[in-house]
Chains A and B, each alone.
Chain A
Amino acid sequence: MKKSDEELILHVPCGYKLTFLIVSLTKRTLLIPDLKPAEQLYLLEKLNRLTDRYFSAAMLAMIKPMSDLEFQIYREATSLDPPKDTMHGAASFNVLTNPKVFGHFCTLNPSILAAIKYRETERESRHRDSH
């Protein structure tokens, strides 16, 4: 990963780091062969609701499904959450949004980095247009 890429990743807010991962994970889930149409619709609706001013629909479309290795890392992180977690996954959140771990996700799934870069270019163009 280039130095500038690392800096870009570093500037992604922690909450959105998780959004990138959740999108990637949801897309992986959508690839499960015998998924019922109702379940598919439920997941697609969830994905649709994730977009906002920061995380655009174009970025959502860019992110590719999670690979097996990414999923393994994701599961390692969520193993930290206690069975009846009252902290809403705080333990796994801290690991998943850790700059190094999130960097690994970006290495394994370049579409995440591409989405981050796309967001940066969009932001710069908006900035230019306003001046």
Chain B
Amino acid sequence: MTTNTPDIAEPERPEWGPAMAALPNERQRAFVCALYDEDAPRKGEGLLLYAARKAGYGTAMSSTKSLSVIANRIVHDDRVQAAVVEHSRSVLRAVPPEAIRSLKDLLRNPKARDHARAIAMVIDRTDPLHTTTTLRIEDARPPSLELTQKVLDRIEELMQRAGMISPPSKLIDGECHAETEQEPI
């Protein structure tokens, strides 16, 4: 018998990251995943115990105390801790849709305490304020000797052009002799 319903592929096993893949068995991976369950209690309220039980550690007869010893041993394993860090990142990446849904709920509820903040957040992200920074570099160093001399020369030139001083006379012919005094013998 054929059905019109499209084939739904079997849910594939997740592709684990290197830290999760490095865990020695599936139970440890299940332990890490159970830490992020929606139904999981908070830390300090039996989270580790819940994760250990969910991952299949212990037996039906195991006491809470023995299960918590097992859970503590697992969670303090370096490989499990690395896997927790890695899995946290991937879980965090999946959060935005939910965050957006919550934000939308907040925006639709004008009586909510943070309604105005939510509006501001959305506006800031869609039409952010532009901040312009002007960097002005000013050179306040005193002028160089060359520059000062240039100005002095220009002043002389102005005076000469106005006929207020005559230009220095040029040396047409000149010979220089170095004379040495001869000491009397």
Docked CA distance A121–B140 (Å)? 43
In the complex, are the beta carbons of B162 and A77 less than 8 A apart?
no
Of A4-12, A18-26, A51-59, A91-99, the stretch lying at the interface with chain B is A91-99
A84: Cβ under 8 A from any B Cβ: yes
A69-B162, A108-B164 are known contacts. Are A76 and B139 too (CB-CB below 8 A)?
no
Q: Which of A84, A86, A101 contacts B152 (CB 8 A)?
A: A101
> Which A47-102 residues have a C-beta within 8 angstroms of B?
69, 72-73, 76-77, 79-80, 82-87, 90-91, 94-95, 98, 100-101
Name the distance in Å between A39's Cβ and chain B's nearest Cβ. 29
Name the distance in Å between A3's Cβ and chain B's nearest Cβ. 16
Q: Which of B138, B142, B151, B158 contacts A84 (CB 8 A)?
A: B138
Interface size on B, residues (CB 8 A): 17
The total of Cβ contacts below 8 Å across the A-B interface reads 55
For A83, what are the chain B residues with a Cβ–Cβ distance below 8 Å?
Answer: 138
In the complex, are the beta carbons of A104 and B148 less than 8 A apart?
no
For B164, what are the chain A residues with a Cβ–Cβ distance below 8 Å?
Answer: 69, 104, 107-108
| Interface size bracket, A side | 20 to 34
Docked CA distance A94–B147 (Å)? 13
> Which chain A residue has the least Cβ–Cβ distance from B155?
A73
In the complex, are the beta carbons of B143 and A107 less than 8 A apart?
no
> Which chain A residue has the least Cβ–Cβ distance from B139?
A82
A80-B147, A91-B148, A108-B164 are known contacts. Are A86 and B140 too (CB-CB below 8 A)?
yes
Docked CA distance A95–B154 (Å)? 12
Name the distance in Å between B159's Cβ and chain A's nearest Cβ. 5
Docked CA distance A108–B160 (Å)? 12
B121: Cβ under 8 A from any A Cβ: no
B130: Cβ under 8 A from any A Cβ: no
In the complex, are the beta carbons of A95 and B151 less than 8 A apart?
yes
Name the distance in Å between A98's Cβ and chain B's nearest Cβ. 7
For B139, what are the chain A residues with a Cβ–Cβ distance below 8 Å?
Answer: 82
In the complex, are the beta carbons of A77 and B151 less than 8 A apart?
yes
For A80, what are the chain B residues with a Cβ–Cβ distance below 8 Å?
Answer: 143, 147-148, 151
In the complex, are the beta carbons of A82 and B141 less than 8 A apart?
yes
Docked CA distance A80–B152 (Å)? 11
> Which B131-151 residues have a C-beta within 8 angstroms of A?
138-143, 147-148, 151
In the complex, are the beta carbons of A84 and B140 less than 8 A apart?
yes
For B142, what are the chain A residues with a Cβ–Cβ distance below 8 Å?
Answer: 82, 87, 90-91
For A108, what are the chain B residues with a Cβ–Cβ distance below 8 Å?
Answer: 159, 162, 164
Nearest first, the 8 A-B pairs at minimum CB distance are A80-B143, A84-B138, A86-B140, A91-B143, A73-B155, A82-B140, A69-B162, A104-B159
Other CB < 8 Å A-B pairs besides A69-B162, A101-B152, 7 of them? Answer: A76-B151, A80-B148, A82-B140, A84-B140, A98-B152, A107-B164, A108-B162
